[in-house]
Amino acid sequence: DAKTTQPNSMESNEEEPVHLPCNHSTISGTDYIHWYRQLPSQGPEYVIHGLTSNVNNRMASLAIAEDRKSSTLILHRATLRDAAVYYCILRDHYGGSQGNLIFGKGTKLSVKP
Amino acid sequence: NAGVTQTPKFQVLKTGQSMTLQCAQDMNHNSMYWYRQDPGMGLRLIYYSASEGTTDKGEVPNGYNVSRLNKREFSLRLESAAPSQTSVYFCASSGQMQQPQHFGDGTRLSIL
C-alpha cells in the first residue's frame, strides 16, 4: 500500500493561512492525492484531490510538488470550524479495489481564536 | 437533502447478541462502504459494494456480513457481537468507486 506521512498535530490562529504537509515518497504514477477532514463527532468530509497540477476549490487549495513526493493542503483563512483531523490519502484511480481509501491517523488541527 | 443516513446513532449490546446497522443514501450513488473507527485511529474498511448486486471484503471483514438491499441501502450485520467490535461505524457512498466518498454521521456501538 502507498503510504503517507503527516504531522500528528498542528496549531493555527483564526483568520490566518494554514499549510498542512504530507509526504508520500513511494507514490506511483496512477495515485491521486486525496484530502479528507473529520470534524469532532462527525464522519469524514471530502476536501480536495489532485494528480499533478495544483488544485483549488471553495474549501482549500492543494499544492503538489513537482516530483509528487509531497503535497500541502492550504486553508487560506482558518476559522474555528476548520478544527478537525485532516487525512492525506493516496488513491489509485485505476486499480479497482486498490482505489479504496486507506486512512492513517491524520493531522489534528487546532484553531485558536 | 439528507445524503447518507445511518441508524441507529447509538447502541449497546451484550456479547453474543446480533444486530444490523442500517445505511441509506439519497444521491443515486452506485458504490457504498462500511468502515469502523477505533479511538485515536483512522477509519478501516470492513466491506464495500462497488455497485448494486456486488459486495467485497475490505481490510477487516471478520465477524461481519453485509447486504446491498437495493441501490439506496447497504446494511452491516454482526451475527454474534464481541467486545472487540466496540467501535464507531461509518457508512459512505460515492458515484463510482474512484469518486469522492460522502459519509454518514456514524453509529456508536458498545458491546459489553
pLDDT digits (tens, 9 = 90+) for A99-111: 688 888 999 999 9
pLDDT at A17 over 80: yes
**Cβ contact B92–A46 (<8 Å):** no
- In angstroms, the separation between the Cα of residue B48 and the nearest Cα of chain A is 9
Rounded to 5 degrees, what angle do the CA atoms B88, B39, B3 make?
Answer: 35
**Cβ contact A46–B102 (<8 Å):** yes
Question: Cell digits for B51?
Answer: 455497485
Neighbouring C-beta atoms of residue A97, cutoff 10 Å:
13
pLDDT, one tens digit per residue, over A36-93 is 999 998 999 999 999 998 999 999 999 999 999 999 999 999 999 999 999 999 987 6
The region of weakest confidence among A9-23, B38-52, B71-85 is B38-52
First to last CA, chain A: 38
Q: Mutate which of B59, B98, B105 to disrupt the A interface (most A C-beta within 10 Å)?
A: B98
pLDDT at residue A3, as a whole number: 86
Considering only CB atoms, which chain B residues are within 8 Å of A96?
97
pLDDT at residue A95, as a whole number: 57
Which chain A residue lies closest to B31 (C-alpha atoms)? A100
**Cβ contact B106–A101 (<8 Å):** no
pLDDT at residue B13, as a whole number: 96
- Asked if residue B108 lies in contact with residue B88, where contact means CB atoms within 8 angstroms, the answer is yes
DSSP sequence for B36-75: EE-TTS-EEEEEEESSTT--EE-S--TTEEEEE-SSSBEE
pLDDT at residue A15, as a whole number: 95
- In angstroms, the separation between the Cα of residue B39 and the nearest Cα of chain A is 10
Mean pLDDT for chain B overall:
94
- Sign for the pseudo-dihedral over CA of B96, B97, B98, B100: positive
CA B50 to mean position of chain CA atoms = 14
Q: Mutate which of B5, B27, B34, B43 to disrupt the A interface (most A C-beta within 10 Å)?
A: B43
